[in-house]
Structure formats: C-alpha cells, structure tokens
Copies of this chain bind each other. A is one copy, B any other.
Amino acid sequence: MFATEAPSLSFRFSIARESDRSRGRLGILHTPHGIVRTPVFMPVGTQGAVKCVSPDQVEEAGAEIVLANTYHLYLRPGHEIVKEMGGLHAFMSWPRPILTDSGGFQVMSMSSLRRVTEDGVVFRSHLDGSEHFISPEKAIMIQNALGSDIAMALDECIEYPCDRAMVAEAAERTARWAERCMEAHSRAPESRAQALFGIVQGGAVPELRRRSAGQISSIGGFHGYAIGGLSVGEPKLVTYDMVEEVVPLLPSGSPRYLMGVGSPDDIVECAVRGVDMMDSVLPTRLARHGALLTANGRLLIRNAAFAGDGRPIEEDCDCYACRHFSRAYIRHLFKAGEVLGMTLATIHNLRFLSRLVEMVREAIRSGGERLLQEKMREAYRGRE
C-alpha cells in the first residue's frame, strides 16, 4: 500500500458529537475557504453555476459548500481558463468551500465511445464528439487547476444493475486508481490547499462493498471517504444497506460523503447511518420542473389548486421566495414560462434542504432521529 502524510494543513475534520441513538454525528469540516457544519447537503453547480440562481442567492439559502463537475469544466470552458481566471472560487464568485468530483461518473453517464483501460478512460465529449483521455493523474491535475477545496479520486463507475464480475473488476481498478491519485496529489504543490477523498465502489454487493472500503481505507492519506456508485436506480433500501455495510469500515475520524443522494427522506436516513456529506442535482432539477420540497412532501406548483392560493410555499420558511411571493404568483410564473419561477423554486428547495440538515443536526444533538425519520418517510414515501 502506498501511504503518505496528509499534505494539506488547512484541512481538518472535527467531530463535535456522536449520537447514542444512531450512527449520526455532528462535525465541522475546516477548509481553506471556511468551515462546513456536517451533516451537510451540497448543492450542485455542474458547470460552475448552481442552475437558475446567483451565488449570493445560494449563500442566502444557507448553503455552506457547493459541488462542481470536473468533467463539464474540463470540456468547457477548460480547466486552464478557470486557472487563468484565478481558480474556480474567483471564476464563479463563490467564496466558500467547493468540492469537485473526479469526472468518473460523468464520463460513464454522459460521454460516448468510452474505453476503459488500466491507464485511464478514452471518451468522446458529449458537446462536440472530440476524443479525450482522462487518467487518475490527469483527474488530479485538472482538479489542482480548478483549485477546489476537496478533490475526488478518479473511480470507475458502472451501471445498475451490473453482473458481479464487472462490479468486482471496477472496484479493484478503482482501488488501484485511488493509489495513483494519492501519489499524483501528494506530488502537486497545489495540493497543499486541497484535500483528496477516496471513493468506495462495489455496486449493490455487500461483500464487494466491504472489500472496497477496506482497500480504499488502507491506502492512507485521504482526508475523507466517499461512497460512490449508489443512487443510480437501485431501491432505497439497497442504498441504505450499502451505507450500513461501508460506514463502519471507514476511518471514524474522517468525513464520509455519500455521492448523489439528495431526496429529503434519504438525507435523513443516510445521516443517521453516519454519512456526513451528500450532494444531488435533485432539488435544483425538481425546482425547474415546479416541484417544491416541503415538510409535507412535494408541492407541484403548476396544479390548478394553487391558482388563487395566497399563501407562501411553506408558512414557516424564511427563504426569499416564501417571504415575498404567493403560490398563486409562482404558479403564474411557471404557467407563463417566466425564468423567475425556476429561480424562486430553486431558492426554496435549496433553503428547504439547508433547514432539513439543520433539523438533522438538531435531531442528532437531541436524540430525535426517529421522529424526523418518520416524518420524512411519511412525507416522501416512494416519491423521489
């Protein structure tokens, strides 16, 4: 195993409290761009912008960290441009922490003609068909150029369902690539201000998940550990089971990041299972389709029932949309095709998830996990 010292001095994770009723815990992630309270939900700014909102609106909604996609930014505008413009924080005018993924998932889900070898992945851009090659080393180099606070190791993502042999092979390769990422990262001077997380794979196979967790944990030097390859179509209970398999095998003092999870019930279920960080395009994508998250489930704002409804989306919500506008107005904006409708819906959904993780943290603090789980299960049963 390749082992190295954590290269970044400004990155640290401290656990403030562990629940005695669940695996849930309260933590603080210290990064070069400030702290993040965990459990946390991270809005996604795929192309260097959270869709339909400005960074000050994201901040006002209570987000403490955002995610950006390496695959997209590498293809457009290109990581060199972002670096020239002073790095991703300056480019997108987001002064708080940023996590970049490695591009592995998007290469699998968005590009065509991909060919995975031990070296890396050859793929064609979904934008113009141009051919590109990404290796573990190149994924790190790109993320170094972007200057995110947290970089992710390159992993091999597979489809769900997938046969066991392929799952096993992808998980083994992910482990070998993780070592190469760690080596490349530890050599780069830019990495001094950047944490690196490893990613556990293993599909929906408990044994392979456990093996992958062991392999990634034993590499040493990672600042945190992600659980990848979930939320790709498998039943919710499988997601939860895999989280339960993996969490106990990860170093308990490091942050655990479950990739791609963002429905309200899943956020609660996974946080009480010991997950510290989550991300998903779900809340912003739902918003653009007029599906608003509330404590009582989704509210489909286009419904005729809201045409004359003078109430805000949620009575007790303090977001800009709820403080200023009625359901009737937001419905009108959606019916009329006004972009402002999507903006207000996005602001609300982001605020809802900020408030939800605040509730999760309060539940962990006070032992109220069960109640919150029941509430969100009831509201979102089989909905996302």
Contacts and interface: CB of A to CB of B under 8 A. Distances in A.
Interface stretch (A51-59, A116-124, A180-188, A349-357): A51-59
A339 B340 contact: no
Contacts of A335: 76-77
B47 A85 contact: no
Interface string A45-74: 001110111111000000000000000100
B320 A54 contact: yes
A76 B332 contact: yes
B93 A56 contact: no
Contacts of A86: 310
Interface stretch (A29-37, A197-205, A242-250, A321-329): A321-329
Contacts of A320: 54, 56
A299 interface: no
A344 interface: yes
Given A84-B308, A310-B85, A49 B340 contact: yes
Contact of A329 (B92, B325, B326, B342): B92
Contacts of A77: 307, 328, 331-332, 335-336
Interface in A70-108: 72, 76-77, 81, 84-86, 91-93
13 contacts: A47-B332, A47-B336, A49-B333, A51-B340, A52-B340, A54-B340, A54-B344, A55-B324, A81-B332, A84-B308, A91-B329, A93-B325, A339-B342
Interface of A: 47-49, 51-56, 72, 76-77, 81, 84-86, 91-93, 307-308, 310, 320, 324-326, 328-329, 331-333, 335-336, 338-340, 342-344
